[in-house]
């Protein structure tokens, strides 16, 4: 099952989503895409900075422990994977009710939305079958 990492540029809010066979591969993709974004979108800030080179290398971001911290002030982790794709419920709450636990492999949804999807699909199949036999 592929691993997905999501980060957001702290300067402009641009989202960087990467996947890989394992966490390290996904992190490497994030390094590359993150450095490309910063180099393209924030070249003026890099040029004005004495702390950073004029162009970031992919290894300048997401290195070691910084992968889950502030990422040197350019990228921050985004916990979208903890949000229901249908209703937006945040799964990170410790007091989550049972009908809001995350389910599904293709897209993370809460149990209530999953049940609604199943009911909607069943109703749709029933209507299509009735229409076919008429």
Which whole number is the average pLDDT over 25-39? 84
Which whole number is the average pLDDT over 60-74? 52
User: Is the Cβ–Cβ distance between 62 and 74 less than 8 Å?
Assistant: no
> Is the pLDDT assigned to residue 68 strictly greater than 60?
no
Bridge partners for 19 per DSSP: 4
User: Does the pTM of the predicted model rise above 0.85?
Assistant: no
Calculate the average pLDDT of the chain.
75
d(C-alpha 96, C-alpha 99), whole Å: 8
Please tell me what DSSP assigns to residue 97.
-
Q: Given pLDDT bands bounded at 50, 70 and 90, which one contains residue 70?
A: very low
What is the percentage of the chain residues whose pLDDT exceeds 90? 6
Bridge partners for 11 per DSSP: none
d(C-alpha 83, C-alpha 4), whole Å: 14
Which residues, including other chains, have CB under 8 Å from residue 69's CB and lie 6 or more apart?
A: none
């Amino acid at each position: 099952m592929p691993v997905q990492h999501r980060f957001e540029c702290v300067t402009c809010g641009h989202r960087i989503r990467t996947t890989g066979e394992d966490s390290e591969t996904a992190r490497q993709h994030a390094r590359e895409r993150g450095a490309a974004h910063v180099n393209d979108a924030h070249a003026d800030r890099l040029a004005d900075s004495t702390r950073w080179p004029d162009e970031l290398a992919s290894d300048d971001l997401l290195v070691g422990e910084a992968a889950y911290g502030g990422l040197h002030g350019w990228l921050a982790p985004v916990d979208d994977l903890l949000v229901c794709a249908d209703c937006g419920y945040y799964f990170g709450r410790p007091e989550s009710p049972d009908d809001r636990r995350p389910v599904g492999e293709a897209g993370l949804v809460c149990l209530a939305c999953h049940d609604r999807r199943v009911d909607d699909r069943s109703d749709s199949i029933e209507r299509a079958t009735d229409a076919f036999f008429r």
